[in-house]
Amino acid sequence: MESRSPVRPRDEELEGVLRDLTGARLYRNNVFRLTGLPVTASVTQVRRRREEAALMAQLGTPPPTAGELPLTPAPDWDVVNAAFEAMRNPVLRLVHELLWLWGAGQDDDHDRAVRQHCGVIEGSSLTAPNRPAIADDPLGQQWCAAVQAWAEVLSGDRIWDWARRRVKEVADPRLTTGTVRRLQDRLPRHIVDVHLALAAKAAEELGPEAADRHLWVLDESSFDDDLVDAALRDAVRPAEDRVHVACEAADRVAATAPLDAIDAGHALVEQTAAPLRVIAGMLGASDPVTAAIHDEVARSVNLCAVAHDNETEAGGPALGLLPAARRLARESTTIDLISRNTVAITRQSVLSRVEDLRKAGRVNKASDRLLAWHRHTDDERVRAAIEVVLNDPTALITPPNGVPTRSSFFGWGAYLWGWRATGDPQKFVATHYFTAFFIPVIPMANYLRDQEYIYGKVPLSVAARRWRLVVLLLAVAFVANPFQGSNQLITFLTIAAGLAVALGLRRYRLDKWAAAQAHSGPERNE
């Protein structure tokens, strides 16, 4: 984050005065509008008006305010009394004088700027929905005219001549021509800041696009472009600070209390939504600062998801949070990080659904369940994770229950045949076959091995299991010999029907299990 230029000590008081005149409060908080006094009111006039306002307050009558631009609703006595008290500060009074009506007539440039500007700021919203294109919007043109009027007044000499004359008339040692010089440097930026505050508020409440009209108004004015750019960068810093603080808090939770990290991640998404809208609205979606801030939030959300999953291996809660991180991410490195974590956690979540079968050595049934889940789910993320698991020969590995038999009697027996690649070039998958005359006939199991060791049992391929079924049917047909008589045919049909029923029930149970995953699987955790 860029460092902010420090305010010089002599400007502290001026900054404090201007801080109360930001955004829509620019004219509402003007002490002359609140008290109804002219900007040139003497000490005696101020005292008399204060006494009059106090008496009216005691009688229950609203204190008097400026006649030409009255406040609605009228301020209460406490506000008005505070305004009288504030007028004791000569710097504050001079600032409020420069930003209020001088009573110089309808054609006076300064007073016209005040009227126009006050009218648009306190009038119809520039960002109301369903407005025409800004260039064709009458209200937008009014805002442009009002801002330009102030730009012309502040760039002229008359307002500063008036200010220097007032310094001499007031004759207060706290008020000098140096104050006027500082105001001449500061007020143009302040008017710009007023509109940027309105733009930020619109972006926060309505979305990034809502700031465009306010920024367009400034672009159309004659305020210095460098001044506007610098003010714009400063205007988003409060939103940036809010994001930084929220991310730091979430990161601390992920590091110190990972079980609470999911809640912290969701809270972070919610807390940063408004400031992110402000940053995107003010700087634009493609600005490097916008991208960097979005990525900062995305990485913190990702950290919360991963921290919780590392602690619990629950899968679902993390997968419910990671999509939010992905939506926030802008840079390819952040997107890749979140995508990798999503795949890894989804994969682990998928594996956890068949972990009991894997531990029991029933890897083929585990594979069948995942295939059924793949058929039923509409969640592309889950489908992709299942495909990763099924395509990885080692994902469902279970320790072998003894060494597979590798012997035969005149060619009848069992051997390990074949070679299927894995991610490790030193290891491969071989199939344990029942052999007849040394010919592999029935695939019984797959094993992960290298040239010396067998590491575990892995699922048979779908093709191998179908071939095994075909061989079984052929064996039944050979034994029953249905073409030799009606009894053999009935026996064959009975066995075939029983086998079909068994396969149907198996398919029904698999489909029922897969359907249940839609109610408890990762796809339910968005």
Torsion over CA: 441, 445, 446, 449 (sign):
negative
Tell me the sheet residues that pair with 407.
414
Cα 319 from chain centroid (whole Å): 16
Q: Are 304 and 267 in contact (CB under 8 A)?
A: no
Q: With a threshold of 0.85, does the pTM exceed it?
A: no
150, 98 Cβ separation under 8 angstroms: no
Please classify residue 460 by burial: count the beta carbons closer than 10 Å to its beta carbon, then call 0-12 exposed, 13-18 middle and 19+ buried: buried
The pLDDT value given to residue 523: 46
**Nearest alpha carbon to residue 121 among 142, 95, 107:** 142
Taking a C-beta distance cutoff of 8 angstroms, is the pair 400, 447 a contact? yes
Looking up tokens 């200010």, which residue turns up? Answer: 163
Look up residue 467 and give its two tokens. Answer: 């071939």
Residue bearing tokens 């007849």: 436
Q: Residue 354: what residue type?
A: V
pLDDT at 60: 76
CA distance 202 to 196: 10
For residue 164, which phi and psi values (nearest 5 degrees)? -65, -35
Q: Which DSSP string corresponds to 440-502?
A: EEEEEEEEEE-SS-EEEEEPPPHHHHHHHHHHHHHHHHHHH-GGG-HHHHHHHHHHHHHHHHH
Per the structure block, which two tokens stand in for 466?
């179908």
Task: Count the residues in the chain.
Answer: 526
The H-assigned helical ranges of 122-224 are 138-155, 158-170, 177-206, 212-220
CB atoms within 10 A of CB 113: 24
pLDDT by position in tens, the chain (length 526) = 344 444 444 478 899 999 999 888 999 999 999 998 999 999 999 999 998 888 888 887 766 665 678 888 888 889 999 999 999 999 999 999 999 999 877 789 999 999 999 999 998 888 877 777 777 888 989 999 999 999 999 999 999 999 999 999 988 898 998 999 999 999 999 999 999 999 999 999 999 998 998 999 999 999 999 999 999 999 999 999 999 999 999 999 999 999 999 999 999 999 999 999 999 999 999 999 999 999 999 999 999 999 999 998 777 789 889 999 999 999 999 999 999 998 888 888 888 888 888 888 888 888 888 888 888 888 887 888 888 888 887 888 888 777 787 777 777 888 888 888 887 888 999 888 888 888 888 888 889 988 888 888 999 888 888 887 777 777 766 666 666 656 667 776 777 787 778 778 878 887 888 888 766 655 444 4
Terminus-to-terminus CA distance in the chain, angstroms?
33
Q: Counting Cβ atoms within 10 Å, is residue 382 exposed (0-12), middle (13-18) or buried (19+)?
A: buried
DSSP letter (8 states) at residue 73: S
